[in-house]
């Protein structure tokens, strides 16, 4: 049982194809080693944006918690 409908699956696969450049798994270029995958992850701006957002949310929640504890 899947939580995505067929239309949602097609939409997601289309977005992935657009992001990857429409390559097949059988393509030599599509096969990436673990080290190459790590280098791609380190240089991906989306990953750093998510890390920054997560850090900001965690630090902000800690500040808010301290504000509530010391205020009351």
Q: What is the pLDDT of residues 54-64, one digit of tens each?
A: 998 888 777 76
Strands (E), the chain: none
**Lowest pLDDT segment from 2-6, 35-39, 65-69:** 65-69
Which pLDDT belongs to residue 29? 61
Q: Are 23 and 29 in contact (CB under 8 A)?
A: yes
Name 41's Cβ contacts closer than 8 Å, sequence gap at least 6: 47
Q: What is the pLDDT of residues 5-53, one digit of tens each?
A: 999 999 998 888 788 775 666 666 667 788 998 998 999 999 999 999 9
**Segments making up each domain of the chain, as ranges:** 33-72
Hey, what are 10's tokens? 């097609």
Q: Are 47 and 41 in contact (CB under 8 A)?
A: yes
């Amino acid at each position: 049982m899947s939580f995505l409908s067929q239309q949602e699956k097609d939409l997601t696969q289309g977005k992935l194809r657009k992001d990857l450049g429409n390559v097949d798994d059988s393509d030599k270029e599509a096969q990436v080693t673990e080290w190459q995958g790590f280098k791609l992850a380190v240089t991906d701006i989306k990953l750093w944006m998510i890390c920054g957002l997560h850090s900001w949310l965690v630090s902000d929640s800690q500040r808010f918690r301290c504000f509530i504890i010391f205020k009351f």
